[in-house]
Structure 1
Amino acid sequence: MSETLTPERVRADVAELLGCEPAEITPGENLFDRGLDSMRVMILVERWRAAGAASLEFPDLAECPELGHWTALLTGDGA
């Protein structure tokens, strides 16, 4: 059974790869400026596909590398 993609899970997954606390990431912050690179984005794509976002592709995340956008895309919640 796959885990549900929640806003908290999305934030925690991103924070894990950035090596920071989830609360440190603001919804509108550019995650590439924060240090996320394309390899880490692909890790997230694969992780989130396994959790149910089967149609997720790299460009979906790269076009707007902000936590708020990713959360809305993956969960329908812009928080």
Structure 2
Amino acid sequence: MALTFEQLRSDVADVLGEDPADIPADESLVDYGLDSIRLMTLVERWRRDHGVDVAVADLAEKPALEQWTVLLGAES
């Protein structure tokens, strides 16, 4: 199953305990409570469920959904 932008948003919202609609595409997710543990949780989920191969450090450098969409090759 391909990873989509909406799936990214939903998964991020899940680990942050937020509503997906409250997660902006263009703002730093760190400002919304994303930390290294939650980021590792997301990466493991995406590896398991979607076969994504990405380094946690690459996502940590650019912690916004619109940037992750490109890094992860997610569908818009």
Aligned counterparts, 1:54-69, within 5 A = 55-69=53-67
CA distance in 2, matches of 1:76, 1:4: 7
Letter in 1 for 2:42: L
Q: Tell me the SS of whatever aligns to 2:21.
A: helix
Aligned counterparts, 1:1-79, within 5 A = 3-50=1-48, 51-53=50-52, 55-77=53-75
Task: Calculate percent identity across the aligned residue pairs.
Answer: 51
Task: Provide TM-score, normalisation by structure 2.
Answer: 0.87
Q: Tell me the SS of whatever aligns to 2:32.
A: coil
Contact 2:3 2:74 in 1 (8 A): no
Q: What are structure 2's unaligned runs of at least 5 residues?
A: none
CA distance in 2, matches of 1:24, 1:75: 23
Cα RMSD, aligned residues only: 1.4
CA distance in 2, matches of 1:73, 1:23: 22
TM superposition shift of 1:76 = 4.5
* Residues matched between the structures, number: 75
